[in-house]
Amino acid sequence: MAISEYYRDPGIRRQMVRFLGGETVEEATAAYITASAPGCIQYLPRPVEDLYACLDQGLDIGRSLWDKEALVVHLDIDYVNFTYPAEAYLDANRTFDILQPVIGAARELVEAEGVRPLHLLSGCGHHLVWSIRQGSAAFARLAEVGRVSPSVEGRYRQTHTPPGRAVAPELGRAHAGLGMVLEHLAHRVLARAAPACEVPVEVTAVRVGSGKRGSEAVSLDISEYADPLHLRTIRVPFSVYLKPEQRRDVLGEEVVSRLSPLFLIPLDRMGVTEGLETMRSPQRVREWAGAADARIPECSSASEALIEAYRASDLAGFHEWFYSESHEPPERWPRTYDATPLERLPPCGRKALQNPCDLLMRPGRIRHVVRLLLAEGWHPRHIAGLIRSKYERDYGWGDYWYRYDATSRADFYTRVFAGLFLAGDDELVDFNCRSTQEKGWCLPAECHGGVDARREALLQRRAAHV
């Protein structure tokens, strides 16, 4: 069945429009949609009214997290394999068995507070989605705790087309506050699920050492909260899932040619095993569209408990300490961040700071730098400032940082990794020379136990901080 024919099914179209926030395209509350083709990953914003034209072309459809009436909450739990990127597609049953303790813990934690999320199944993992109504008490609390940098505030004041409007300041702060609450939820999921999971569980897609099938992990991916709200999107249920075709250069032509078509589906009352079978059959997906409900549940009141749990947590205290310092202003960088004595760091850390494009775009490398500089006694906000200074210098970034925000990205990743360690949820299992060698980062001819020597110093720093 051609994808364009699949998309002509009225049930498919109805469910996709529901996820956009209405019963008709005209009623939709999503700020915009995106549409990408098999051979190209381009998530450029398009008016919601373009939806049917995009479906006629058989495109992969997404929607903005930015919504006119609500704050959309999205927790993404994925399997990642840096050695064998096609593993999730070639052995889906094993992949989703690995994911089960993590998605189970996440659902238990949110449902215990009364949140009933829309549970979506993708080619690599699970998505939990719900909304918080703008103007609700939960929304106001998120806006109170959210931290938005002046550079992001400036971006929010601009008019973005589509939808031809700016991001309201309170909405921007609530998005930032939501990221902090989900960071705390990720800590709780990690603590509950990691002992039962056969591969490492990480916050964001961090490269780990080799296991049974290469460098594989479960990612609690909250990275969309590293960026301004208007830039991030989520795939629409019942859309064709073209990610494998868009990654032919990574997965390999022979592998992609053997894969069945994939569709993003809501699980609802369906089990994972049945869901994996259904999402590979256009006909079964069409039948499921007649029974499922792809509307994003509104869970404002229930979300208040998650917010209050964060506000009472040690992580919230760490966030206060993190933001108690400010980045050095750019005019001082030649005398401050640029003068950092990199020779004090082992080569594995020094290399990332000397070659930030693209090493400092990789979460695992960022974490490694954060750990090394914490061991040197740096305040984490200044670690973020140093990383930001690399993002804002000419290292071959092109126009990337004209679109994304260097300050929010540097703050987010540094905050997440420093918070995991100082809150006691990162035991530095892979912060040693052997693991660094397994990841391919070590330069043994230039180093003699540089990471091992810093592990004990870092643990002492945590004891002093507590």
Sign, CA torsion 363/365/371/374 = negative
User: Cα dihedral angle (351, 352, 356, 360), rounded to 10 degrees?
Assistant: 170
pLDDT in tens, 400-428: 999 999 999 999 999 999 999 999 899 99
- The span from the CA of 454 to the CA of 364, in Å, is 17
Determine the pLDDT at residue 171: 98
CA distance 269 to 397: 45
Contacts by 428-435 with C-beta closer than 8 Å and gap 24+?
428/371, 428/455, 428/458, 428/459, 429/200, 430/200, 430/208, 430/209, 431/368, 431/371, 431/455, 431/458, 434/209, 435/208, 435/209
Token couple for 98: 């690995």
SS3 133: strand
What was the pLDDT predicted at 448? Answer: 67
- CA distances from residue 26 to 29, 49, 244, 267, 270 in whole angstroms, order as listed: 9, 7, 32, 27, 31
Q: What is the pLDDT of residue 39?
A: 77
DSSP state string for 174-209:
HHHHHHHHHHHHHHHHHHHHGGG-SS-EEESS----
The neighbouring-strand residues paired with 74 are: 129
| Exposure on the CB side of residue 63, measured as CA atoms within 13 A | 30
Q: What is the largest CA-CA distance in the chain?
A: 65
* Residue numbers in the chain where pLDDT is lower than 70: 1, 448, 466
Contacts by 361-365 with C-beta closer than 8 Å and gap 24+? Answer: 362/207, 363/204, 363/205, 363/206, 363/207, 363/223, 363/413, 364/206, 364/207, 364/208, 364/439, 365/207, 365/441
What is the Cα–Cα distance from 177 to 146, expressed in whole angstroms? 4
Structure tokens at 352: 């990332």
pLDDT at 444: 75
Residues 166, 171: Cα–Cα separation, whole Å: 10
**Three-state secondary structure of 30-80:** ECCEEEEECCECCCCCECHHHHHHHHHCCCEEEEECEECCEEEEEEEEEEE
Terminal Cα distance for the chain, rounded: 60
Q: Which of 182, 177, 169, 180 is nearest to 144 (CA)?
A: 177
Q: Determine the distance from the C-alpha atom of residue 214 to the mean position of all C-alpha atoms in its chain, rounded to a whole number.
A: 22
Instruction: For residue 373, give the nearest of 319, 279, 451, 264 by alpha carbon.
Output: 451
Beta carbons within 10 angstroms of residue 212's beta carbon: 8
What is the pLDDT at residue 463? 86
226, 409 in Cβ contact below 8 A? yes
- On whether the pTM is more than 0.95, the answer is yes
What confidence score (pLDDT) does residue 325 get? 98
Q: Tokens for 66? A: 């930015």
Cα(240)–Cα(76) distance, integer angstroms:
18
pLDDT of residue 461: 87
**DSSP symbol at 297:** P
CB burial readout 393-413, b (16+ within 10 A) else e: beeebeeeeeebbbbbbbbbb
Query: Beta strand pairing status for 216-221 and 201-203?
Result: parallel
**Which value, in Å, is the radius of gyration of the alpha carbons in the chain?**
22
